[in-house]
Structure 1
Amino acid sequence: MESFVGTGVALITPFNDDLSVDTAALTGLVKDQIENGIEYLVVLGTTAENATLSHEEKELVKETVIKANEAKLPLMLGVGGNNTAGVVEELKTSNLDGFDAILSVSPYYNKPTQEGIYRHFKAVAEASPLPIILYNVPGRTASNILPETINRIARNFKNVIGVKEAAGDIVQAMKLISMVPEDFKVISGDDMITLPMTLAGGKGVISVIGQGLPREFSDMVRAGLKSNVAEAYKLHYKIAPSIDLIFAEGNPAGIKALLAKKGMVKNNLRLPLVEASEALTARINDFMDRF
């Protein structure tokens, strides 16, 4: 399959009880994704609690994933921020060996205009030695990259090859798909609307629940890409309750609770995030017992 089509997974960062990076659990998680049909992996995104990791810990995570992956799946690295000059410097100075693309989030907190977003990604595109996937997630950044702006970026910078579209708006997603060049990848960043986006012409998903249910979720996306609608929706409705559960108290609290239930990680997060409540954990555990 073409790179970055199908199901990508935004990897968590497992922590030991002392909150150091649990490299053994991370290695096991990567291998589980490979064995269960995931098409690519995203390293050091929001789900990885990236904001709480030191530079040394980020390097450890990168090294661990590259080693565990054994060059089997394409790897995408999160490099973004709200200081354009800082993102450019990181792209120019970081060791990107082992990675195939960059996932770069729209600037958060500053709330730039559409022109500011365009100029930010112009600078990022001109600095990056790897292809770039934009990341539009208004719920976290407080600003929405409009389809017209994404289309402008896509047509002016050929190394910007796609967008992780996580506005949660299927109408906006369809407008975007209709506008961008045919080879530009519109990738769902919202697990619940992954299937309708894929059926509308999207290229799959960068997923959170896919990490916990890799076989079923990636089967659903592949069925959607092949327009096997009945098969895809049967899987969607089987999986859907878990999506509501894992996001009920924020990400990655829910997916870590689910993975802890599977015995793959310890249920540890770094402040300001905390583990899922006892009530939510019980509901997640009940779902997994019945799945």
Structure 2
Amino acid sequence: MKWILLLLFTLPFSSVQAQNIYSKDYGNKDNPPIIFIHGGPSGNATLFEATTAEALANKGFYVIVYDRRGEGRSKDDNATMTFKESFDDLLQIYKTYNLKKANILGHSFGGIIATLFTDQYPQKVSSLTLVGALFSQQETYDHILHQAKEKFKNDPSKLKQINDIDSLNKNSAEYRKSCYDIASELNFFTMPNQTPKSQQLRNDYNASDFYKNNFRNPSSPLKFYKNEAQNNLDNKDMLKNIKKKGIPIFAIYGKDDGIFSEKQINDLIHITGKENFKLVDNCSHYLFVDQQDEFLKFIVHHRH
């Protein structure tokens, strides 16, 4: 009976494969469209899709998720991992779902893609929402390594490892990966205190087919840094220009997301305005799992 009820109350969706792009839509096509852009390079939308896509659709949105070409479920050995290719994938999503404009949600590295896309195709974007999104990459890397040096200041071997990372080419995949490895070691991506709901969401995800399809292409970052001339970006000025074009910018970040400094958060608040920004307590990088109710409330409140 439980499964019958679940089937009865599950929103209709369709799955689409086009140009090697995995995508799926949730909810009523007449509702305001939202496109979710996942992190990476080497990411996918499985966690968001499994935990949050349908919950967001239930709030009155038409939600579309997809995995970029060569990442996640959009397997493609010929993918180049460039921003242009990411834009082409996103334009294909607009075409596939007959969208003229959409609200864009960019998570983590997906926030960089979302910002660049909005700047280049402002006529296609109703609003831009940054969700724990990168926007000034070098500041993030500097902050991670500074925190690590403080943490391990009495551990000579660890301190040498951190200094070795700091001496790497700042535009290399190795540098980026090493910074995030240290951030993970410092639990920067982990919420301080799991709630019953966040634990249940993660347990359900780990037991789902979405988790089984949580494919991460290890060659993605290497290809990106080889083929994409633009990296290690600071998009603060671009965000200001997007706002000047009349496109609303919203931002929601976890108070315990250790990869962002206080200065970065304040810079972003200055850009979005306090009314369009939220810092969520007991919440790290994956806001839509850590504090899903707060995340959904924020998106609904800023419905566009």
Q: Which has the larger radius of gyration?
A: 2
**TM-score scaled by structure 2?**
0.35
Relative contact order, CA 8 A, sep 6+: which one is greater? Answer: 2
